[in-house]
């Protein structure tokens, strides 16, 4: 399966999680293309077998719990794109001390569902920095389930 993994990061934690997930998926025999949302086109999304979205949650234009700001132009460009039946999954990093813990996950799921895409597995929400606690093990297990 060809998987398009689209991600942005502020501190590097989302990038660490993405690299681990990509390694697991590649080891399972899938082809993974990693792109920034700023590099991703609607055609990239329609021609791949599965889309993975990974983002921290942040404040954007006064709204809490939003995806990384780099996702906003991509979401705008995909507004009129149908992804009917396209499998997707979401990985989010956040801090449970904030009101909208991993709110970016909810925003991205709602967006993808609105385009007709189908969530392949439950989204993974990581609390705090990726390297803390058992986050690497959670990402590994999640990617294996996706594979």
Work out the pLDDT band at 3, boundaries 50, 70, 90. very high
Residue 79 has pLDDT above 70, yes or no: yes
Question: What pTM does this model have?
Answer: 0.93
- Residue spans of alpha helices (H) in 3-134: 13-27, 42-47, 71-77, 103-114
Using a pLDDT cut of 90, give the percent of the chain over it. 78
Alpha carbons 146 and 29: distance in angstroms, whole number: 12
Radius of gyration of the chain (CA): 14
- Range name among 26-30, 49-53, 134-138 with the lowest pLDDT average: 134-138
Alpha carbons 4 and 109: distance in angstroms, whole number: 16
- How much is the mean pLDDT over the chain? 93
Contact 36, 74 (CB under 8 A): no
Angle at 30 between CA 25 and CA 33, to 5 degrees: 85
Q: Side-chain half-sphere of 44: how many Cα atoms within 13 Å? A: 19
Q: How would you class 121 by CB atoms within 10 Å of its CB: exposed for 0-12, middle for 13-18, buried for 19 or more?
A: middle
Alpha carbons 56 and 125: distance in angstroms, whole number: 10
Give me 114's structure tokens.
């609105």
Q: pLDDT tens digit string along 101-119?
A: 899 999 999 999 999 999 9
Residue 99 has pLDDT above 70, yes or no: yes
DSSP string, 93-131: EE-TTSSSTTHHHHHHHHHHHHTT-EE-SPPEEEES-TT
């Amino acid at each position: 399966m060809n998987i398009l993994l689209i991600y942005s990061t502020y501190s590097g934690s989302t990038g660490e999680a993405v690299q681990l997930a990509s390694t697991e998926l590649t080891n399972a025999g899938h082809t993974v293309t990693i792109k920034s949302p700023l590099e991703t086109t609607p055609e990239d999304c329609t021609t791949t077998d599965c889309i993975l979205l990974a983002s921290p949650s942040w404040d954007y234009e006064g709204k809490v719990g939003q995806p990384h700001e780099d996702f906003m132009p991509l979401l705008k460009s995909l507004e009129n794109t149908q992804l009917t039946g396209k499998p997707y999954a979401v990985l989010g990093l956040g801090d449970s001390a904030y009101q909208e813990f991993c709110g970016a996950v909810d925003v991205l799921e709602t967006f993808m569902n609105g385009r007709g895409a189908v969530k392949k597995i439950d989204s993974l929400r990581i609390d705090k920095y990726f390297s803390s606690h058992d986050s690497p093990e959670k990402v590994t297990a999640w990617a294996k389930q996706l594979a």
